[in-house]
Amino acid sequence: MIDYESRMNDEIVRLKPSGIRRFFDIAAEMDNVISLSIGEPDFSTPWHVRQTGIQSLEKGRTWYSPNRGFMELREEISKWFARRYHVEYDPKSEVLVTVGGSEALDLCIRSLVNPGDEVLIPEPSFVCYVPLTEMARGVPVIIETKAEDQFRLTAEALEEKITPKTKLLILPFPNNPTGAVMRREHLEAVARVVEKHDLLVLSDEIYSVLTYGETGHVSFAEIDGMRERTIVVNGFSKAFAMTGWRLGYALGPKELIRQMTKLHQYAIMSAPTTAQYAAVEAMKNGEEDIEYMRGQYDMRRRLIVDGLNSMGLDCFEPEGAFYVFPSIKKTGLTSEDFCERLIYAKQVAVVPGVAFGNCGEGFVRVAYSNSIKNISEALKRIKDFLQEI
């Protein structure tokens, strides 16, 4: 018998699997489950976008694309981003098309981090930043965000964690799992600290089109002096309900993009061709789809926030993404116990907050990327559950 683990890369063996998973597995084995645990749109990709992908297949366009992505797509991304967020990127040298936003995050962290560099990661946040940092032999430094700050990153909390070894700040807003957004004034406060300590920033803006406040999303790159210090990661998955197409992109100064492109070239070659044809259509003619889906999410968001608050599960008003993050502290249960008991008793799946960092304990993530019918039914079941425990 070969002891495989002893022969493998130690860092890989030590990586923990994501905590989101367990509840999916339980849910998969039950009938009549309403899953509010899935972090992706319930919409299918808009038909005209799918059709463009189909047409490219019909025409037999099944070859590789250039490493950086088709020029036409890079141009559309550049225009789209400038139109919405007022920052210009040169499609030739400052746009890199990747396999989902996830790949772009990995490329960025691996390209910037030297062994021992400290990477600042606000939590609760998506599960990949810590493992990616560890794989790059960087040192993850967690910054806990708090419900009383609407889960925003404050300049004070940031400043506190900075050391001479700090290299990179990750800025995951609009935030998964809390739904928090950073408004312009909050970004400006963070930018002053970034400038003072000469940091670089990875701004994960994958949920950028899904904000519900009066002011829309502000890209960190738009803040004075930040474009030259920031890699923006975005993609098609959330904005256009294209998760399965696996397409994202990174925008940034050409010197950084060039290094990231080398890694991308050797590990991935290029992003999926069919998806890129479809994505061009999404960028050109997808505004209505975005607005439609955003409007639908917004109605569901109001329904679920109101429902949870009125049954005593306090949640702050989430202004972005498609998640609410209610506190379950009143129940006296841990977030894992809460989720496990809820799914067994009422067949409603939500994700324990602790899966998104230790400071997520006492909260659960509820995704409202589901139909109004299912959300109403789930709210009823959660209410019953609370009365029974």
Beta bridge partners of 228: none
Residue type, position 52, single letter = T
Please state the closest distance from residue 73 (CB atom) to other proteins, in A: 25
Cα of first residue to Cα of last residue in the chain, in angstroms, is 49
Please state the closest distance from residue 18 (CB atom) to other proteins, in A: 4
Kindly report the backbone phi and psi dihedral angles of residue 83, in degrees, each rounded to the nearest multiple of 5, phi listed first.
-65, -45
Binding residues among 345-384 for other proteins as defined by CB under 8 A: 370, 372-373, 376
Q: Which stretch binds other proteins (CB under 8 A): 34-42, 64-72, 167-175, 177-185?
A: 34-42
Give the rounded distance of the alpha carbon of 107 from its chain centre. Answer: 16
| 39 counts as binding other proteins under rule CB under 8 A | yes
Q: Which is nearer to other proteins, 91 or 248 (CB)?
A: 248
Please state the closest distance from residue 242 (CB atom) to other proteins, in A: 13
Beta bridge partners of 144: 123
Please state the closest distance from residue 201 (CB atom) to other proteins, in A: 27
Q: Which stretch binds other proteins (CB under 8 A): 35-43, 86-94, 230-238, 248-256?
A: 35-43
Beta bridge partners of 235: 248
Residue type, position 56, single letter = S
Q: Which is nearer to other proteins, 279 or 305 (CB)?
A: 305
Query: Ramachandran region of residue 321, left (φ > 0), alpha (ψ -120 to 50) or beta?
Result: left
Q: Which is nearer to other proteins, 42 or 76 (CB)?
A: 42
Of the candidates 323, 249, 321, 314, the one whose C-alpha atom is nearest the C-alpha of residue 280 is 249
Whole-number Å distance between alpha carbons of 228 and 213: 28
Whole-number Å distance between alpha carbons of 64 and 272: 8
Binding residues among 298-317 for other proteins as defined by CB under 8 A: 299-300, 302-303, 306
| 213 counts as binding other proteins under rule CB under 8 A | no
Whole-number Å distance between alpha carbons of 154 and 178: 15
Whole-number Å distance between alpha carbons of 52 and 284: 12
Which positions from 14 to 33 touch other proteins by CB under 8 A, shown as an x/- string?
A: ---xx-xx--xx--x-----
Please state the closest distance from residue 35 (CB atom) to other proteins, in A: 6
Contacts with other proteins, residue ranges (CB under 8 A): 17-18, 20-21, 24-25, 28, 35, 38-40, 42, 295, 299-300, 302-303, 306, 370, 372-373, 376
